[in-house]
Each structure stands twice: as C-alpha cells, then as structure tokens.
Amino acid sequence: MARPSALAVILVLSGLVAACADDGVSVVAEPVVSECADCVTEDRATEINDAIAEEFALHGHVPGMVVAIQSPEGTYEAAFGLANAETGEAMSADAVFGIGSVHKLFKWVALHLVAQDGLVDLDEQVNRYVATPVLPGVTMRHLMQHSSGLPDLPDIEAYNAAIAADQTQQLGYEDVLAMLETAEGSNSYGAFTNGRLVNFTLGESMSYSSIGPLVGLRIVEAVTSTDAHSFTAERIFEPLELADTSHMAIAPDPVRLTEGHATSDTVNPFFPDAASTMALSSANGGAIHSTARDVATFGHAVFADDGLLTAETQAQLFAAPVAGPGLRAGNGVIQFDEWRDSGWWGHAGFGIRSHSTTLLHQPDLDLTVVVMTNLYTPLDEFETNVAVSDAVRRVFAP
C-alpha cells in the first residue's frame, strides 16, 4: 500500500502560542485544507479538527501534538501547538518524533513476515532458531504475547546503571543477554531470578517485556541471514514508502526532529535526558524515529490493508490475548484496560527524547489513529494521546 499523499489533509494551527499547565491552550486558527485523492472531505476534516482542538485545549501542559488518521473515508493529518515552547515555533505535521515502544510492533511485524514466508513456526520453541538466551519451552508466540517469563529491561539493575552512565551508548544483543543472565529482583508481575520470573506459567501469565522483541528480531536475523536493520527497511519501510522512518542506531538525529519537553514532574524516570537516543536497545533494529504520517501508514498496513500481512496473520494479531496487570497482549499488539471500552488495540511508546506516541486501531470502525506529543507522558496515563484518539473515534462512530 502506498503512503498517504504529501497533499493529504494537513490542518496546521499556526496560531497556537499559549501553552501552560495552569492556563491551558488557546486555539485561534482556521484550518487550511488541501485537496487530495485520498483525504477526508473538507467538512469531515473540519469536524475532526474541532474535536481534536477541543480535547487538546484541555491538556494545556502539552506544548505540541501531531495527529494522523487512516479511515475508510480517507486520511487526515494535523499539527497543533508548539514544536518549541521557548521559541514559539509552531508544530509541523512533518515533525519527527522518537516513537518509543511503538517500535516493538515493527519488530513483531518482522517476525510475522518471516512466518508468512514459511521460515519459522510461531508455535515452535525459540531455541530451535537461536541458542541464546536459553528459554526452555518458550515459543515465539509466548514472546509476542509477553507470556515468556522474561522481565522488562528497566527491571534490571545493570541496565539502569548503563542508562545512568550514558544514555546515548549502544548496547549489543550479547550485552543485553549478559545483563539478563544474572538479573534478580521483582516487578509488578512478581519476583525474578537469573533473568526469569518465578511462579510463572508460560502462555497463561503475562509480563510485559522489552527483551522478548529483541529475541524475536534475533530470530529474524538468524533465519534470513541478514541484519534486522536491513530486513525491516527492505520489508517494511521501503514497500510502505516510510521515507521519514529510521533506526536511531543509524540516524540518531534526523532532519525535523522535534524538541522534547520535560519538567521535574514529567521527566521519564528511565530516560531523564531529553536527548536520549535509547540506542541501548537499538543494536538489532530497536528504537525508531518517525512521523505521525508514516506510523499511521504502517498501522493501516498492519491492521487494515492486505498488502503487507495476510488476512490470516491479521486475525492472529488479536487471537487468544493473555491478560496481565493493567493490560492484555495479543500476538504483537496490546490493549490497556483503559482502552477496552473504546475497542482500541495497538501500542504506546513513551519517553524517548521526552516524546509520547500512541498507535491505536479500532477494528469495528477500521480506524487507525496516531497521536504524537513532544512531552513525556507516564505509561499508566497517556491521557492526552488516548483522549484525542477517543475524540476522533466519536467523530467516526455511527
């Protein structure tokens, strides 16, 4: 599927200059609508714009935001607020963000693609394809469902020490595994020792882990005899024409990278440096920079279009989700409890360069909404991103 036209509906609210936690955001601008073959109608664009602007005004602590939508009625893009709160520079729909953990969905899609190619069986044990880490009984589906018993990287003391020492360094796959082998501690899912959660039932208990996707990409590398950066570029970025999407490990400072904003109350505790690249987990295709337009194009291809994943694979995304504290995981996608009433599935990413990103899909409406903000939002809230997405959903709901 081709990416949305550069002339897709772009509503740039250039008059937004008042943004503070106490007074909120003053929205004074008329939408500028460009005609294109695949955009929503002007009336619908105005309706969407008004709904988003109203919600954005309620979250005055967020300096700037970009929204991109893929729907059966067409596409939509909009920029709101400020790219730089100090200079007053307006946000642009072309702004580049660090997408945080949304990059995990790119990893899982890569694994789904090699499964479609017949190179792996998702129900086969991980150690059939890679020797390390040693994960008895763990399948690739367990990795995707976060039901493998692996802890999360921020749970590991050595990882946090590495971040404190240098947030821009790159740790390789073997470096991460070395940290994992001796890791002990506990998280909200329970205690772990030697890098594995105890009293954990494979495939039934869910423990969100950023290590599982790294193992998944190592499997992709093993069965394709290529590096993960090249594979994701050749099989995902290039076919979908994601021209503004890049791996942080390769391009740490892309053009149009927007300014991250953080205060003592909003700083990401794992990445307190607003300039952090999160290259710590980038060595085999991890952290990604992108635009809202590109991520929406990717999301539509994953969830709705038949050009990237087969219908069978798309159905697998939501199959037999495994529940954990606060969320449940399908085969590569997640659903926070707060999203369930609205029917959203997708992923959320936070904190990289003090940005926050959500990629949400509503299957009943065939609606994909991407919201990117230039302020870190805690993982358990994402209040601005989700509130804006809900405002969009209400516009499209029958």
Please write the tens of the pLDDT for every residue from 158-174: 888 887 777 667 778 88
Please write the tens of the pLDDT for every residue from 8-17: 333 444 333 3
Cα 267 to Cα 11, 225, 279, 325, 348, distances in angstroms: 29, 39, 18, 24, 17
CA distance 90 to 79: 8
CA distance 126 to 273: 35
Radius of gyration of the chain (CA): 20
The domain that holds 240 is classified in CATH as 3.40.710.10
Three-class SS state of 314? helix
Among 31-35, 94-98, 196-200, 302-306, whose mean pLDDT is lowest?
31-35
10 Å Cβ neighbour count for 220?
26
C-beta of residue 253 within 8 angstroms of C-beta of residue 346: no
- Residue 224, in any domain of the structure: yes
CA 3-66-354 angle, 5° bins: 115
Say which amino acid occupies 139.
T
- Residue 191, in any domain of the structure: yes
- Residue 373, in any domain of the structure: no
Peptide bond before 133: cis, by omega within 30 degrees of 0?
A: yes
Give the residue with greater pLDDT, 362 vs 281.
362
Residue whose C-alpha is closest to residue 358's, from 292, 270, 273, 300: 292
Q: Tokens 């009625």 label which residue?
A: 73
Q: Tokens 């890098």 label which residue?
A: 195
Q: Is the dihedral of CA 42, 45, 51, 53 positive or negative?
A: negative
Confidence of residue 276 (pLDDT cuts 50, 70, 90): low
Cα 17 to Cα 79, 85, 245, distances in angstroms: 13, 8, 28
pLDDT of 226 reads 93
CA distance 108 to 236: 11
CA diameter of the chain: 59
Tokens of 307: 């050009």
User: Phi and psi (nearest 5°) for 203?
Assistant: 80, -5
Average pLDDT over residues 219-244: 95
Q: Is the pLDDT of residue 230 over 80?
A: yes
Tokens of 281: 């987990």
Average pLDDT over residues 208-217: 92
CA distance 245 to 292: 10
Q: Is the pLDDT of residue 3 over 70?
A: no
- Residue 332, in any domain of the structure: yes
Confidence of residue 259 (pLDDT cuts 50, 70, 90): confident
- Residue 284, in any domain of the structure: yes
User: What's the chain's average pLDDT?
Assistant: 83
- Residue 112, in any domain of the structure: yes
By CB neighbour count within 10 A (0-12 exposed, 13-18 middle, 19+ buried), where does 188 fall? Answer: exposed
Q: Which domain holds residue 286?
A: 98-337
- Residue 260, in any domain of the structure: yes
- Residue 360, in any domain of the structure: no
Tokens of 297: 């194009």
Among 129-133, 343-347, 373-377, whose mean pLDDT is lowest?
373-377
Say which amino acid occupies 386.
V
Total domains in the chain come to 1
Q: Is the pLDDT of residue 251 over 80?
A: no
User: Phi and psi (nearest 5°) for 67?
Assistant: -125, 135
